[in-house]
Amino acid sequence: MTTSKNMTMTAIALLVVAGSASAQAASVDVNGDGFYSLPEVQAAMPEMTQDDFLVLDVNGDGLLDAAEVEAATQAGLLTAPEG
């Protein structure tokens, strides 16, 4: 994975892993459904490409859920925030 993709994946992890209770997560999850669509993620992170998103969207439903974020973190595709 390139440095650019690593930075993108780290940034999305910081947004998503933060949890739905945080202001950041609420600002990403615009429709409040508990999932993150590509347009929602791109609004917060314009550098997120469809290819990057598809790597994270394991089940191919077009949304990122908590399990996909956790799996990507465990696989080293995302870096969980410290603390």
pLDDT in tens, 22-45: 555 667 788 999 898 999 878 877
Place of tokens 């399990």: 67
Phi, psi dihedrals of residue 3, rounded to the nearest 5°: -60, -40
Phi, psi dihedrals of residue 30, rounded to the nearest 5°: -60, -40
- End-to-end, the C-alpha distance of the chain in Å comes to 25
The rounded Cα 79 to chain-centroid distance in angstroms is 11
Residue 41: predicted pLDDT: 79
pLDDT beneath 50: ranges in the chain: 17-21, 80-83
Please, what are the domains in the chain?
Answer: 3-74 (1.10.238)
Phi, psi dihedrals of residue 5, rounded to the nearest 5°: -65, -35
